[in-house]
Amino acid sequence: MADKNPTTAANERLLAPLLSVASSPHIRTRETIPRIMWTVNATLIPVAVWAVYIFGWRALLQIVVSGLAAVITELVIQKQRGVARTWHDGSAFLTGLLLAFCIPVGLPLWMTALGSVFSVAVAKHAFGGLGQNIFNPAHAGRAFLLASFPVQMTTWTKMASLAPSAVDGVTTATPLGILKEATKLGHDGMSEVIATFGSRQAMLESLFLGNVNGCIGEVSALLIILGGVFLIYKRYIFWQGPVFYLTTVALLGWVFGHKGLFTGDPLFQLLSGGLVLGAFYMLTDMVTSPITRRGQIVFAVGGGLLVFLIRRYAGYPEGVCYSILLMNCATPMIDRIFVAQPPRSDLSQTEGGQA
């Protein structure tokens, strides 16, 4: 082959990195945003139904208020911005639904609506709308409510379920709250949590099936896991994020127990609080999580580490919300490190003008 003009070859070498294309956002698919969003919403219907059974009709009212506030806020903002109106694509309602799952059932309804407005208006549209926000909107709304109304956001209502184990098995405090307060007083926190349920087996069964106090979406790890597995099957999310997130929390919780090394209860750490909901529905947010699989693993491990540190050493008993929001800040850096680059062409590897 004839020698290539040295100037042309040099220009090709300079331009090659600029023409590299990153991964998945550019892959064409038959899936649409409305189809994906409404499917995710549908997987959360069993959780919502069980929450209404556990907490009563007040839980349904919270879900309706939060969802409607999010949809109306999106419609008003898009109308004012003069952009395409996508309030019906399911993304705004999903934000409201997830926010409702992250609040106590007894929170005043106007606070719920305010949090939903913040999630859509500030955490989403202030950055340009769907696909451009850097923080998970639902968790941003929860963080806003927790900072603005800390007493109301940490006041738990006793469950309204008619199931005897649901009424008699727990107090109005959450399991993580009992553990945190007992540990602060120098008591054996896990023993007090177990005593609340009667036995460790009863505690784990309650956490897994949903007979436990907490936020609306903390009612059943089983139903959330089933919904998350379906999303993995549909390839809307990848398994690496939830698995590494949950494994990191369980492993650290077991190794660094309150009584010493290897004395923790990994199953309690896994099933308590909003960890499972966050793992499958918040951590895997398509917009605010890394693009590549390796990046998602780093993202998940970092988030799991933050959950452990907050639960173990901070004053707040739960750490899922802040762990994901903090890792959202690192997503651009993770993408820069693990961005998928295509193989360099022969032209970009020529030396001295030789093809």
287 plus 144 within the same structural domain: no
Q: What's residue 170's pLDDT?
A: 38
The answer to whether residue 28 scores a pLDDT higher than 80 is no
pLDDT digits (tens, 9 = 90+) for 37-83: 999 999 999 999 999 999 999 999 999 999 999 999 999 999 999 99
| Share of residues in the chain with pLDDT > 70 (%) | 83
Nearest to 201 by CA among 277, 267, 259: 267
- Give, in degrees to the nearest 5, the angle at Cα 267 between 263 and 270: 115
Largest pairwise CA distance in the chain = 86
Tell me if 342 is assigned to some domain.
no
Section 7-25 average pLDDT: 57
Q: How confident is the model at residue 287 (pLDDT cuts 50, 70, 90)?
A: very high
Q: What's residue 26's pLDDT?
A: 58
Q: How confident is the model at residue 114 (pLDDT cuts 50, 70, 90)?
A: very high
Q: What's residue 188's pLDDT?
A: 84
183 plus 301 within the same structural domain: yes
Mention every residue, 6+ apart, whose C-beta is less than 8 A from residue 30. none
Tell me if 343 is assigned to some domain.
no
Section 87-115 average pLDDT: 96
Higher-pLDDT residue of 16 and 245 is 245
Section 287-295 average pLDDT: 94
Nearest to 268 by CA among 200, 187, 199: 200
Mention every residue, 6+ apart, whose C-beta is less than 8 A from residue 41. 90, 93, 94, 97
Tell me if 224 is assigned to some domain.
yes
Whether the CA torsion 143, 145, 147, 152 is positive or negative: it is negative
- Residue that has been written with the tokens 């407005």 in this structure: 117
φ/ψ (deg, to 5) at 322: -70, -30
206 plus 304 within the same structural domain: yes
The runs of H, that is alpha helices, within the chain are: 6-15, 33-43, 45-55, 57-81, 91-101, 109-121, 137-148, 150-153, 164-168, 175-184, 189-197, 200-209, 221-233, 240-255, 266-271, 275-277, 293-313, 320-338
Q: CA-CA distances (angstroms) from residue 350 to 13, 15, 103, 304, 345?
A: 8, 13, 59, 45, 9
Give the integer Cα–Cα distance in Å for 289 and 139: 13
Tell me if 325 is assigned to some domain.
yes
Section 160-170 average pLDDT: 41
Work out the mean pLDDT of the chain and round it to a whole number.
86
Give the integer Cα–Cα distance in Å for 194 and 295: 37
126 plus 271 within the same structural domain: no
Give the integer Cα–Cα distance in Å for 84 and 33: 14
- Give, in degrees to the nearest 5, the angle at Cα 19 between 18 and 25: 110
Section 195-200 average pLDDT: 90
Q: What's residue 259's pLDDT?
A: 86
Section 161-188 average pLDDT: 67
144 plus 274 within the same structural domain: no
Nearest to 209 by CA among 161, 278, 262, 259: 161
Q: What's the total number of domains in the chain? A: 2
Tell me if 164 is assigned to some domain.
no
Q: Which domain holds residue 146?
A: 34-153
300 plus 207 within the same structural domain: yes
* In contact, 325 and 139? CB cutoff 8 Å: yes
When mean pLDDT is compared over 129-133, 214-218, 223-227, the highest value belongs to 223-227
Tell me if 329 is assigned to some domain.
yes
Q: CA-CA distances (angstroms) from residue 344 to 17, 21, 48, 238, 335?
A: 9, 11, 50, 27, 19
94 plus 136 within the same structural domain: yes
147 plus 183 within the same structural domain: no
Q: What's residue 184's pLDDT?
A: 83
